[in-house]
Amino acid sequence: MAEPVLSGGCQCGAVRYRIEGTLGHAGICHCRMCQKAFGNWGAALVSVPKAQFTWTRGKPSEFRSSAIVARGFCAGCGTPLYMNEDGDPNYDIAIGTLDDPEQAVPTSQVGIESELSWFKALANLPSHSTEDDRTAEDLRKLKSLQHPDHDTEMWPPISKSSP
């Protein structure tokens, strides 16, 4: 049976990757470093062996957040892409950067000493769709400049109407 192939990348499309084979363990991390690195409550990450991983467009920049951990991100748009502990043969890939983030389902949590007090209440907050909050006119103006959720030959696309 053919190995599954997954793709992903940053928001602007300058950095793209491919994963061949099944994903490893997925989990969420509440630690203070993940909060800072993701600008968020923490991070959802999935383990992928580097041997199954290829950068297909561009390369991430790295910031060493501790003596033993590097964090990769897109220098162009700032999207956090992975963390990697020195000597670990796996990347911990940011689940939201997968073209299909549903492929990685977190099954455990770590760093809970830093869990934000409101985290557990998130699932019960009042919920709206984008259509509920925006007029039809607003929605027409929301022209996405984000890279689509699949590989592209060329990005940004060259418009046929431009000179």
| Beta carbon nearer to Zn ion, 7 or 21 | 7
Q: Is the Cβ of residue 113 or residue 133 nearer to Zn ion in the bound state?
A: 113
Comparing CB distances to Zn ion, the nearer of 34 and 124 is: 34
The two three-digit tokens of residue 97, written as one number: 């950067």
Rounded alpha-carbon distances, angstroms, from residue 110 to 34, 142, 151: 11, 37, 32
3-state secondary structure at position 36: helix
Q: Give the separation between CA 50 and CA 31, rounded to whole angstroms.
A: 24
First to last CA, the chain: 47
Range 102-131, binding Zn ion (CB under 5 A): 111
Least CB distance from residue 77 to Zn ion, whole Å? 3
User: Could you say which of 31, 41, 70, 96 contacts Zn ion (CB under 5 A)?
Assistant: 31
Q: Which of 12, 23, 26, 104 binds Zn ion (CB under 5 A)?
A: 12
Nearer to Zn ion, 133 or 153 (CB): 153
29 is an interface residue for Zn ion by CB under 5 A? yes
Q: Distance between CA 81 and CA 59 in Å, rounded?
A: 11
Is the Cβ of residue 23 or residue 43 nearer to Zn ion in the bound state? 43
Find the shortest distance in angstroms from Cβ 32 to Zn ion. 8
Q: What is the C-alpha to C-alpha distance for residues 151 and 163, in angstroms, rounded to an integer?
A: 26
d(CA 47, CA 98): 12
Per CB under 5 A, contacts with Zn ion among 70-89 are 74, 76-77
Residue 48: CB minimum distance to Zn ion, A: 17
Task: Kindly report the three-state secondary structure assignment for every residue of 141-154.
Answer: HCCCCCCCCCCCCC
Residues that bind Zn ion (CB under 5 A): 10, 12, 14, 29, 31, 34, 74, 76-77, 111
